[in-house]
Structure 1
């Protein structure tokens, strides 16, 4: 796992080989293997946007990002 400078990660589970870009935000999420969050990307901040991307959002607000996904910023 690599978390670049100024990124914010809270209440999340991060699996192997995940890269979180500069100024990215991850809140209440599960990031599966080989997920890449590009610089400035957000997961768990706007659940409607997460659903539009095809991510599962639980009733408790946990976002699941499937393996090998690239999330643009």
Structure 2
């Protein structure tokens, strides 16, 4: 049995994680159904702002070796 290379491991995990994210974004898109959900423009802006910020941090971590942030999104009432 051959040992998995670092690049093979990266590709395997990146593919799974990217597909998980794509699926979750599809589910977020399902929240746009006004027959099932009620939301304000401000809530939508906050939601997508948090998603975009997380994406920017993740992308920048490939340029900066030390980026750790475990922020969670929450509507603040």
TM, length-normalised to structure 1: 0.19
Larger helix percent: 2
Answer with 1 or 2: which has the greater Rg.
2
- Larger relative contact order (C-alpha < 8 A, sep ≥ 6)? 1
